Structure 1
Amino acid sequence: MNHKDLNNWIMYYEIQKLQRLGFSISKIANYLKCNFRTVQKYLNMTEQEYEQFLIRSSQRIKLLDCYETFVKDKLLEFPETTAAQLHDWLKEHHSDFPEVSPRTVYNFVMFVRGKYNIPLQPKERDYFPVEELPYGEQAQVDFGEYNLKTSGSKRKKVRFFVMVLSRSRMKYLWFTDVTFTSETVAQAHEYAFEFFQGIPLVIVYDQDRTILVDENIGDVILTAVFRQYAQSRGFKLHFCRKSDPQSKGKVENVVQYVKKNFLYNRTYYDIKTLNEDALSWLGRTANYLPHNYTRKAPQEEFAREQPCLLPYVPLALKNPQPKPYHVRKTNVISFKGNFYMLPQGTYKGTGTQVNVEEKQWVINIFNLKGEQLCSYPLSTSKGQTIGTFHRHRDTTGKIALLINQLQEYFTNKSKAEEWLHHIQDKYPRYTRDHLLLIRETLTRYKENGEIPDKTLDFCIKNELVSGTEFRDVFYCLWDQNLSGKQILTPITLLNETNLLKINETPQVSNIDDYESIINN
């Protein structure tokens, strides 16, 4: 009895046992993860019937039986051949080969391997220990990412940069919560060199797109930002071939070490806390405990390697130049899959542009004169409209400028300024709205005499600190000022050239004439 038949008999007896225990067909199917029709069929079979069923199943004619000799010969000659390669050979050498799924071919190839005892023999790669490099000769760099749990039971993806000195195995680790770019990779190198207080002669990399544009048959093409950075620092770059992590084994092990020893079951609070915890972990564990291969503590070996590194002098990296983006007529820009709102009036017609500067997880938006318009946290979602500006709000002036303008309406400017600042303290989020309401009230009634000063004195005396209260008091005093005055409505002349008609009195009808007409 082969292994497959043994599993089939175990399944048969398990179904029979569960039925005797009172399980229904559907519960047996759910428990054994099989189809309820299979359970029903097996329950209706005796042991003898089930045995005959297995024999018939093993002896049934396979669709590809006529190609068995061809497949066997190829496998005997090339034991490492995959089922996909044999599928292509079958179609190449047999024009009448039927249309079957790759899974059917795979099952048939595995059947032939088992029947003729031709195991799959993958090509083994020969390995040998790498000679220990001199102190300060080389470092290795790699990147990783991991999903951490937050305090709110959500998930947060973080990316990390790791650099290992090849001789001492001294490690450096830096985290970010945004996607790596050429600028952030260069900044991560600076953090590592500052941590080591030195620079290795050669750094080994994978073919990462933030560093390398094209391998170009050995004449590598670097990204513009990283090429300038590497030239300024003077270290040499060595790139592994694609899909060949074995040639850079030291750092590949560190990436897994970080995930399994430091990040596993760790709670994410913020990126600053995570980086502080990472440095603590390096000091107490990763760089403190003896290395499994060298049996030496990386910190002790680093004391010998550090003097052999190139001198480290802090380098002030240039901030990336802001990129221009077109402003849409709705006063928004499209940036990384989201719409970010701008102050009303930013759009000046076709061709209006603003500059966008991204720093870590914040984007700053400037006009072409370099004046900052607004700033937003960088959103990780897509298709969102982000902003808090009210489209009817006047955003042309600053708070201080509005206060200075309003002081001019009052005799005692210092007293007015103090009261206006009380509004700012009481309503920090709505200061502009209150000041604009006061300005609108004062400018609507220009010939107001002493009313602004009286209104201010009344508000201060009664501790009224808001734009709406100022407006109500102002209108009340305005109405009192108008009471007792006769308001004459001017006469509009139909014919301004004939002024003699001003003194004429219109003819008046006799009411008796209308009464006689109605009564008759």
Structure 2
Amino acid sequence: MDKWEMYMKIQQLLKQGFSQTKVAEKLGISRSTVHRYLKKSPSEMAEWVETMKSKKRKLDPYKKLILSWLRMHPDMSAAQVQDWLQEKYEGLEIGESTVRTYVSALREEYQIKKETSPRIYEAIPDPPMGEQAQVDFGQTKQKTTDNKEVKLNFIAFVMSHSRHKYKEWLDRPFTTQDVIKAHENAFKWYGGMPKEIVYDQDSLIVVSENSGDLILTKEFQLYRETRGLTLRVCRKSDPESKGKIENVVGFIKKNFAKHRVFYNIDSWNEQGWEWLNRTGNYKIHNTTKKRPVEVFLLEKQHLKPVSKEINIETNYESSITRCVHKDNTIRYHSNRYSLPLGTYNKFEKVCIKETENKQLIIYIPVTGEIIAEHSIPEGKGILIKDRKHSRDRTKGIHAFIDTVAQGFEDKELAYQYLDIVREKYPRYVKDQLHIILRETKDNTSEVLSTALIECVKRKLFSATDFSDIVAYVKRQRRVHETTIVREKEIKQLNKLSEWVMETEAFKRKVDTYTELLEGES
């Protein structure tokens, strides 16, 4: 609908008795637009429409190109149009609002509707400068020059304060070695390291969870220790913990990768780094209202310096390959060793390594991810099974809580405490209960009662905290007992002192002193 037609529609609806608000709702325009149109007489409106037709706009020379993009990719955003223009015409200076208005006008004029999707909002306060970076992985499918489709993978980094970004792409899945190299390249890009890095629970980094604690892959653990990294791992797609990197991954997919033609991985990465300088780190951030590149100039001063380059290579010289059997076991020296349930469905083969202290390490050959460790027994024909690989799930949580609660004198308080632990650790509740149950078996009811009251008082609702408090109570009791012994020893000395004080000294008569004094005179 052109401007003159819009003007006539507004006039007709007003004559029918509709208010300006209702007219705006019916025509899908704002009330201020209706008010602006009504301020003009028919002759003024006609003159204004003619003026607008003859008026040249800054993006008119690129109109055909922009139209071709919008028709080919109806879901293309105005921000991506701006980035593509600046990529194609180096040195082109154009404001975001100018592009947005022009693209909107073209969509309206040529009836090109834009697909929309709900936006994910960030809700976490920004950490201090240099405090934190967030890391995540992404994947896209791109068209090649011969119209085939290729799957690409990328790793993205973002500084949580400044929103300064870095990314790398591969045309194959990432390995742990690739992740480590990407970290090294990111630290070079930033010129330092943040104090903390937040990750997803990715199998390239994390092997498994133990009562909420994380066990890293052998390679990444070695890298972490070498570089002195402080890391925190959160659940996948958790915007409360790492909303910033979730948004960055989406921004890379929609603004950089979408509709871009893939030639080869080297040129793709070069385009990506140019995009970071041109758009990713230069464009004003929608939340902070600042350019990441400008804020990062200050944040860079707060990063930890990176030491000399390191070279971490996987070292499994004596590793041997073994086939995974349907019962999730492998065979080694005529014995069977268990693997986590589901291993057979994921991997056909695994690698094993025998250590000097008779331990068998089982790991994934590509990533170095350790999936099981067993002690090697004497003898043959033995099934060596880790109970974690076939956890008993027949016993309900309620029954388990009942069993643990029986170990306390104040059962009502114990139930209250265990219910909160269950709410706090729903995924690890059995592991938590196992730890508390072990403490109830190894300690007296007096120690357990004191520890339980202290945990509730201090709001420490986890099995590890409970164990720590139990250990603290036991230490305090030992100190108290030692003090009592010492006090008894001191009292015995006091009795001796009293005996000495009660002993009377020999007393001379006063006459003796009188005679001595008179003799001197």
Q: What TM-score do you get using the length of structure 2 for normalisation? A: 0.37
Q: What TM-score do you get using the length of structure 1 for normalisation? A: 0.37
Higher RCO by CA contacts (8 Å cutoff, separation 6 or greater): 2
The structure with the larger Rg is 1
